[in-house]
Structure 1
């Protein structure tokens, strides 16, 4: 099992994963966010990214105001920087986007421990599904993403999972053998 709490695994991944590692380390991005327990989530860590996929970094904060001020003071001069506050089921979330090298970076902060945030939990479930079903599922999900599906709906479509894909993926049975790839 890959330790997704440490980005070292990216060094031996596909080309885009190696580029992500170089960008994250060159800009010391995770180190600069360390007080917010940053974790890389999204499609790049599990190799289902499209060329335009961003690097999603989840962060946990105690104070949305402090997090927002911190992000503004450290990143507002980055290329195409923007920041917004949204209402999320778990409370206020702050999202900042900007570009570093060839990647759009998305920082997603909320008052939920990083390991418990949906994005990181989805990463773990999706990785488990890819381990279980292999390259056939990977290619089907990538194909669906190329057709415009978001990641979680693509997994749900590929596996015939009904309902809200963002919720249903988090409630899959421990025995994944009950699932199969839709033909």
Structure 2
């Protein structure tokens, strides 16, 4: 597949200043159906910098996660995808930045779009020339408000082609469930090591979704998406004690 370079569209989405992201955060329900908030919480200040929320901005996590992640990061950098979406505070999420991707994994980008109509106009004008471009509006659920979901295929570097999914809603990017799940999962993986990651990938290859896979291995009860998100509210000591109680002992 040939690499598509976008010319003359860098300003299509404009620019927007970003509020500083707190390095310590917790999950709090706001009573709203379409958002959660990351807030300052003294109980989680002991996570090292690489496992704090701010460390997941940009491409560095993706670049360092794996050879595949490095190739995908190069392709995104060559196309300036994050720059083109800068107005909407894009953050990469999903399995690739934390190296639990499988052959079917795509690259997920979360965006904060207060005005979904403007977001739709932006992505249509910017990315519609990419192969297999499509966009649809997702109806609100019990936990997430109405969202625009954009998919297209991208290539570059040593990548023949990979699918990009952009998920935009009126919730701040780092307060969306997709980001909170990834943050909690990265912390779990840092404690439980490569064997646990291997077990997650094995379940995913059996068509188990990521959060249900973590919930199954951690023996969480109830809704797996809520259960995994709640783990982001734990300090390192609390999460270490939690996994030890589950009989999953911390590596190293």
In structure 2, distance between residues paired with 1:55 and 1:130: 19
CA distance in structure 1 between the aligned counterparts of 2:61 and 2:187, rounded to whole angstroms: 16
Q: 1:26 aligns with which of 78, 82, 86?
A: 78
1:38 aligns with 2:97: no
Which residue in 1 is equivalent to 2:127? 75
Structure 1 unmatched ranges of 5 or more = none
Query: Is residue 155 from structure 1 mapped to residue 214 from structure 2 by the alignment?
Result: yes
Q: Mark the CA change 1:91 to 1:135 in structure 2 (over 3 Å): closer, same or farther.
A: same
SS in 2 for 1:128: helix
> Are 2:183 and 1:129 equivalent residues in the alignment?
no
- 107-116 or 87-96, which deviates more: 87-96
The change in CA–CA distance for 1:42 and 1:17 in structure 2 (over 3 A counts) is same
Asked which structure has the greater RCO (Cα within 8 Å, sep 6+), the reply is 2
Q: Could you tell me which residue of structure 2 aligns to residue 6 of structure 1?
A: 58
Superposition TM-score, scaled by structure 1 size: 0.94
Question: Is this contact kept in 1: 2:65–2:98, CA < 8 A?
Answer: no
Larger radius of gyration: 2
Q: Which runs of 5+ in 2 are unaligned?
A: 1-49, 156-160
Looking at structure 2, the residues matched to 170 and 10 of structure 1 have their Cα atoms a distance apart, in angstroms, of: 21
Give the Cα separation in 2 of the matches to 1:8 and 1:169.
Answer: 24
Q: CA–CA distance in 1 between the matches of 2:67 and 2:136?
A: 31
User: Match of 1:96?
Assistant: 150
Q: Offset of 1:181 from its aligned partner?
A: 6.0
**Are 1:65 and 2:117 matched, yes or no?**
yes
| Residues 144 and 126 of structure 1, relative CA distance in 2, 3 Å threshold | same
- CA positional deviation for 1:83: 0.5
- SS of equivalent to 2:56: coil
In the comparison of the two structures, how many residue pairs are matched?
A: 182
Other structure's SS at 1:79 match: coil
TM-score normalized by structure 2?
A: 0.69
Q: What is the CA-CA distance between 1:5 and the residue it aligns to? A: 0.8
1:65-112, Cα deviation, whole Å (9 max, x unpaired)? 111111111111210111100123332100000000121000000001
Distance 1:151 1:47 in 2: 12
